[in-house]
Amino acid sequence: MRVLTALAIGLALAVGMARPLGAHTKHRAAPADAPKIHRVEKVAEGVYCIFGQGGNIGLIVTAKHAVLIDDQFERLVPGLLEAVKTVTDKPIKYLVNTHGHPDHVGGNVVLEKQVTAIIAHTNVRRRMVAEQAKLDPAKRGGLPELALGAEDSKERARLNIHLDDTEIHLLHMGPGHTDGDVIVGIPSVLAMHMGDLFFLGMLPYIDVEGGGSFDGLASQIASVAAWLPDAARIIPGHGPICGKKELVRYRDFLQAVQAHVKANPGKDAAALAGSFDGAAWPEWKPTPAFVTWESLFSAAMGKGPGRVVRP
């Protein structure tokens, strides 16, 4: 659990949280006095973003049901459900995990009792099973029941969900942030949740140890930017709701990082970071305890974990 623990701490520091993720307990209810920190913003008709502590949560409301996309941390689930109720009283049928990091799946262990199924990429389930095997059985839970794709993350995968009057597309395009990323699209209203393939406001984290790839991420963002309609609305994994203009800008940023690495083959990550014009890209800021310019360039070179490693 060392990598996941370090990740939880890093994400907590990055978004100003008070404490890292604790152990999951399948049969323990989330605390009733969980902080009420969630804020709901409408993205499109029937689609909402719920901001809190950790990755952004998506909420899709269909004719008879609701679908959640990610769920942050276990201790925040009561507040999350209160936020959902401000939008709809319809039952949550599916929970989709965009990937397996703690700030996106921490609430699974509570929500699994309330949803028909948890859906994620095969590699998300595989990694969660491996990590939970180290825990006491009473502390396990929240595993995806429906998994799409193959363990070879280079194989693309797609799942279309037809729920009431709404069609939802789940798309895995290859290794990027991790080896199990899924983009969730709602084509009828031109809305999508991109998970941590898209960071806005902070430098992106490439979880190299979790099968991520900087070049893969850059390729995916370029691909999505090429076919995304101009009017589309995007929920990033971290940051404010945005549109195609911001995604194109993100594509250009990632390509600038790639070009800087290619143009300076003899420099190490520290030298690359020091010579890169970060001021030209103010939308992406380093977080000293999590992702710095140096750790980003180490990932871009394929020589580091993509995050600050503490001794």
pLDDT digits (tens, 9 = 90+) for 241-261: 999 999 999 999 999 999 999
Q: What single-letter amino acid sits at 190?
A: L
Q: Give the pLDDT band of residue 4 (cuts 50, 70, 90).
A: very low
Tens of pLDDT, residue by residue over 27-70, are 344 455 555 799 999 999 999 999 999 999 999 999 999 999 99
Count of positions (residues) in the chain: 311
- With contact defined as beta carbons under 8 Å apart, do 30 and 106 qualify? no
- With contact defined as beta carbons under 8 Å apart, do 90 and 61 qualify? yes
Q: Give the pLDDT band of residue 13 (cuts 50, 70, 90).
A: very low
Tens of pLDDT, residue by residue over 221-242, are 999 999 999 999 999 999 999 9
The dihedral sign for the CA sequence 209, 94, 110, 235: positive
Q: Give the pLDDT band of residue 139 (cuts 50, 70, 90).
A: confident
pLDDT at 3 over 90: no
pLDDT at 173 over 80: yes
Q: What are the chain's domains?
A: 24-149 (3.60.15.10), 198-311 (no CATH)
75-78, long-range: CB within 8 Å, 24+ apart, which pairs? 75/22, 75/30, 75/31, 75/34, 76/30, 76/34, 76/35, 76/37, 76/38, 76/52, 76/106, 76/107, 77/30, 77/34, 77/107, 77/110, 77/111, 78/30, 78/31, 78/32, 78/34
Q: Mean pLDDT over residues 157-179, rounded? A: 98
What is the model's pLDDT at position 200? 98
